[in-house]
Amino acid sequence: MRAFVCTLIFVIQIALSYGSLPLIQYKCWTWDSACLTARAQAITPIFTAGFHEIGTERLDPMFIDAVNVKDQAGLKFDMQNVYIEGFKTATIDNVSIDMNSRIMRLVFHADLSIKSSYTASGYLFSLPIFGHGDFSMRYDNVLTEMVIPFDIIKDTQGKNIINLKVYKYWFDVRGGGQFHLGNLYNNDTISSKILNNILDKNVVQDSIKV
């Protein structure tokens, strides 16, 4: 997620300052949310494929070595070789920059799919879980909103540029989704089907702030 956001904001910054990359024919004023949103949308399919001119990596599919989750309920869920797809067809709903408060807001929605291998143990929805194998997940119509504080600093040429600080985001799965955890419970098909069905039913309730 951070790679996607940082690259998108970098492109927006170019639109603010130069308007010189493909599909960015003119500069946007910082207060012109409609212009910023249109420029971000126009460039999304290009920069997610990897923008060699500015040295960005391919973001769709996005590759992550490992993701490790451990919660207080006792769940331990480790994912390896994670591939995320869907950013290249994302719809940019809104980009806005408030220079007074130094806050940028980005809203977009997309259908996202994830594939990886996994290892799980502990408890999930008060049920015991254990297994290792292939993991796949699809989220439909995931609405994501990000709030990104920034500073204005000078680059090496003396131009003002946006310097990102931390960011917060929340997402809402509006279209439901599907999960599949292979080889659960030593490949017990009945118990596996029950847990996968529970995951599918609970995915529509996801609305998470980070």
**Of the given ranges (49-63, 119-133, 176-190), which has the lowest mean pLDDT?**
49-63
For every residue of 37-82, DSSP letters joined together read HHHHHHHHHHHHT--TTTTPPP-SSEEEEEEEEE-TTS-EEEEEEE
Contacts of 96 (CB under 8 A, 6+ apart): 33, 36, 104, 105
Q: pLDDT digits over 90-144, tens only?
A: 999 999 989 899 998 999 999 999 999 999 999 988 889 999 999 999 989 999 9
Instruction: Please give the residue range of the domain that contains residue 17.
Output: 2-209
Higher per-residue pLDDT: 84 or 46: 84
The reported pLDDT for the residue numbered 177 is: 82
Do 67 and 118 meet the contact criterion of CB atoms below 8 Å apart? no
Helix axes 33-48, 2-17, angle to 10 degrees: 130
Q: CA 30, CA 95: separation in Å to the nearest integer?
A: 10
Mean pLDDT (the chain, rounded): 81
Q: How many domains does the chain have?
A: 1
Distance CA 127, CA 125 (A): 5
Q: Nearest Cα to 122, choosing from 80, 183, 69, 66?
A: 69
CATH code (residue 122): 3.15.10.30
Alpha-carbon gap, residue 110 to 92, rounded angstroms: 9
How open is the CA angle 201-205-210, to the nearest 5 degrees? 135
Confidence of residue 44 (pLDDT cuts 50, 70, 90): confident
Q: pLDDT tens, 57-75?
A: 777 888 889 989 888 778 9
Neighbours of 103 (CB within 10 A): 13
The residue type of 131 is: G
Task: At 55, list the tokens.
Answer: 């040295």
Reference 13, options 1, 38, 30; nearest CA is 30
The tally of CA atoms less than 13 A away on the side-chain side of residue 131 is 23
Residue 85, pLDDT score:
92
* Separation between Cα atoms, residue 33 and residue 166, nearest integer Å: 22
More confident residue, 3 or 70: 70
